[in-house]
Amino acid sequence: MVGEVKMKASFFITYYDKKINDFGVGVIKEGNSINIGTFKTGIQKEEVDALLKIMKQHSVKESNDLLFISPGICVELQFSELVDEKINNPIFIRFLFETHWQECRYEKLLGIDIAITHPEKLLFPNSSTTKLDYINYLQTISPFLLPFLQNRLLTTIRFPHGLFGESFYQKQCPDYAPDFVDTYLHEDINYVVCNNLSTLLWLGNQLAFEFHIPFETIHSDGMPSEIVFDLDPPSIEMFDLAIQAAKMIKDILDRLHLISFIKISGNKGIQIYIPLPEKQFTYEEVRLFTEVVATFMVNSEPNLFTIERLKKNRKNRLYIDYIQHSEGKTIVAPYSIRGKSGGYVACPIEWEELTDNLTPKDFTMENVITRIQKANPFKDFFIAKNEQPFQQVVNGLKSNL
């Protein structure tokens, strides 16, 4: 995880390292005790002396360097992140004399105080990815995913048995949702609004794989917060068509001095984003622009691109979906995984990465975690909203009507 997120959790002492004066700590994961890290910061000398006295009285094994103890002594630690099942920057807070060591569970490190059900459940065919891996992914990616879910009506696709069973769309918040889950009533549907990490991880425990969000927030008065061009080739084998279309749109946007961002859809296409200032443009005004761009592309390359909505009439051409950009319609959120074999991610990329060897199969959960620790291609997305010169484009289009 990137960023200084202050988290607290309970751990049990497992050993003392005499050489470096560190205390090892563990938690319960899938019924087994695992070592999760060490600490020495924050604990006072008299507390260390008292702890070592107890550990020596109840030790199960001792060497020149290490003193081991069975689980029993519990402590509360603060830490900044959880990476590869290890806590970083741990700080001792206090002893937990009333806590039983079996209450120190791995899932509590993920920010939720609920048991993760069936953490060992496999999610995808021909893959060792488990439900707990998915929860870990959501926790790591949350600083980058949550801003796009903030105050948006959420539609998810639930896969209770992973890709080994049936799936279903879910808009209505279930009655059993915890109190920390925000909701918003819209057209007789009480939507989940994922405004916090606890809600995100609760949804992950429900095996909601896809997070689909509208182009407007609940506070935007029905006006779009961004423009998205959805470039949909006939198949993943024809992904090169999406690359070609994206390059063509990028050239158009650059000529208009519009700020744009790009992401892999996680399925077989590419999506191009143009952030907009809040509550400034209507969908009708935006449609003037998207229709002109789509029509220009189809007229330029009629054998490659189409705006034909019926798949049977597309004839292996890439579909430029601008009709979908309207009030109440949705798009998969950046960094959401998709409910397809492989569990690929709808991942933002840099424009420089748009090369002929680009493929959606490169964007697995594991690879995306590695990527995000180096750079976030959407980091300036919300800054760009107020710098976007889209009013000039609208004025030009209206003057030609």
What pLDDT does 116 receive? Answer: 78
Closest-CA residue to 135 (of 375, 332, 365)? 365
Cβ 251 vs Cβ 196: under 8 Å: no
Q: How far apart are CA 242 and CA 259, in angstroms?
A: 19
Q: What is the pLDDT of residue 373?
A: 86
pLDDT along the chain (401 residues), means of 10: 59 94 90 90 93 91 91 92 85 92 83 72 92 89 94 96 94 92 95 93 93 96 95 94 97 97 95 96 95 96 94 93 89 95 93 94 93 92 95 89 68
| pLDDT value of residue 198 | 86
pLDDT value for 2: 34
* pLDDT score, position 115: 65
Q: What is the pLDDT of residue 1?
A: 33
pLDDT value of residue 113: 59
Give the SS3 label for residue 395. helix
AA letter at 358: L
Q: Which pLDDT does position 64 carry in this prediction? A: 87
Domains of the chain: which residue ranges? 7-110, 131-214, 226-399
CATH class for the domain made up of 226-399: alpha beta
End-to-end Cα separation, the chain, in angstroms: 50
Q: What is the pLDDT, as a whole number, of residue 107? A: 74
CATH class of 7-110: mainly beta
Q: Can you give the pTM of this predicted structure?
A: 0.77
CA of 25: how far to CAs of 55, 73, 158, 356, in Å?
13, 10, 35, 48
> 3-class DSSP state for residue 361?
helix
Q: According to the model, what pLDDT value does residue 21 have?
A: 92
Closest CA to 5 of 146, 208, 188: 146
